[in-house]
């Protein structure tokens, strides 16, 4: 085996956090099942966050039974735009964004039209658990549709960007901006063709970008250079992510935030098992950051104020940058 390849494999082993290690050393150790159950239900998550005064998209209606579908449709029919989603969904599956109306038809972001029957059929699929984590009974939520901050709209054709911040014990360790593409059909999720832009934790400026795990320099649809991105309201967004831990204190936590126009940062949802592609987007591994945080302030870091936790995360990130 070539020496360069051996060195690369050793670097990956020392630096990159894999799924098994994430589950065994972080999720099982620091994420209690009772809190995971809250995070796995979007409506319960929003209630817990709102009780702390944290910004979340308003919920217009919830539908938990087939008998409620008539009232559910009436709520949809009176709105020009909204988001329909499963309460227990994951990975963006089952979400329908309605951006306008054409008579009695509902217009999706892609321009496709849904009849009332189409919308009700999709809601029934959600209730049946077609998109839930456990493939069992679910609820349908109708939420306010958010739009992206003007500073990021050139990178968001036909969709909304969101910010993923990964925290350990309430300390932000890594962040990326997720951008929709035509291939992802307006969704920012990386597994369906969205773009992940790694961000400097101190400034919110782009450092690297990937699409389907491959390096990328320009948005494939707009050709805008991704390295020129600088996330607006950056420190406000980081502080919001850190405060989410105060509401739902999961040791390992992914916080998804929309930089919304005109509201500013709004928490879209939380994730108790955050994906690890954020390492590819940042071109760095999580293991040194996790190790340094636990050596510096083992699990007790969650007891310090949100602003201090943000400062600690930035400090650890910059120290790691100096060693590279």
What token pair was written down for 225? Answer: 């250079």
Binned average pLDDT, 10 residues per bin, the chain of 324 residues: 69 87 96 96 96 96 94 94 93 90 92 94 95 85 94 89 97 97 86 94 97 95 95 97 97 97 93 96 96 82 86 94 73
Q: With contact defined as beta carbons under 8 Å apart, do 194 and 179 qualify? A: yes
Pick the CATH number of 59-143 from 2.60.40, 3.40.1130, 3.30.1490, 3.20.20: 3.30.1490
State both tokens at 316.
């650890």
Range list for CATH 3.30.1490 in the chain: 59-143
Phi/psi for 54 (5° steps) reads -90, 145
Report the distance separating Cα 116 and Cα 133, nearest Å: 26
**CATH 3.30.470.20-classified regions of the chain:** 17-55+148-323
Question: Which ranges of 145-276 does DSSP label H, i.e. alpha helix?
Answer: 234-247
Residue 192: the pLDDT is: 86
| Cα distance between residue 50 and residue 48, in whole Å | 6
Look at residue 156 and give its three-state secondary structure.
coil
Beta-ladder partners of 252: 168
Q: Among residues 233, 90, 238, which one has the least CA distance to residue 170?
A: 238
Considering the entire predicted model, what is its pTM?
0.93
Return the CATH class of domain 17-55+148-323.
alpha beta
CB 119 within 8 A of CB 106: yes
What's residue 185's pLDDT? 80
């Amino acid at each position: 085996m070539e020496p360069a390849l051996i060195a690369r494999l050793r670097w990956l082993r020392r630096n990159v956090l894999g799924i098994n290690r994430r589950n065994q050393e972080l999720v099982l150790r620091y994420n209690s099942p009772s809190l995971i159950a809250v995070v796995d239900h979007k409506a319960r998550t929003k209630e817990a966050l709102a009780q702390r005064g944290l910004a979340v998209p308003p919920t217009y209606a919830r539908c938990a039974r087939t008998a409620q579908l008539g009232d559910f449709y009436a709520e949809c029919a009176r709105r020009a735009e909204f988001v329909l989603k499963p309460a227990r969904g994951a990975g963006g599956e089952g979400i329908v964004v309605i951006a306008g109306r054409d008579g009695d038809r509902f217009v999706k972001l892609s321009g496709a039209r849904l009849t009332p029957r189409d919308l009700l059929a999709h809601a029934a699929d959600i209730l049946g658990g077609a998109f839930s984590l456990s493939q069992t009974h679910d609820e349908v939520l109708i939420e306010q549709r958010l739009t992206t901050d003007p500073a990021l709209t050139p990178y968001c054709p036909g969709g909304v960007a969101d910010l993923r911040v990964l925290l350990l014990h309430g300390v932000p360790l890594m962040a990326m901006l997720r951008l929709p593409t035509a291939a992802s059909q307006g969704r920012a999720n990386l597994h369906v063709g969205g773009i992940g832009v790694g961000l400097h934790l101190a400034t919110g400026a782009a450092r690297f970008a990937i699409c389907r795990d491959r390096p990328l320099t320009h948005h494939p649809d707009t050709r805008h250079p991704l390295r020129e991105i600088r996330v607006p309201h950056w420190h406000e967004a980081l502080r919001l992510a850190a405060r989410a831990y105060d509401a739902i204190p999961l040791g390992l936590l992914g916080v998804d935030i929309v930089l919304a126009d005109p509201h500013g940062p709004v928490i879209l949802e939380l994730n108790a098992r955050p994906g690890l592609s954020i390492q590819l987007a940042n071109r760095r591994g999580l293991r040194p950051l996790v190790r340094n945080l636990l050596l510096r302030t083992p699990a007790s870091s969650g007891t310090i104020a949100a602003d201090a936790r943000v400062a600690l995360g930035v400090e650890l990130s910059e120290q790691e940058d100096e060693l590279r």
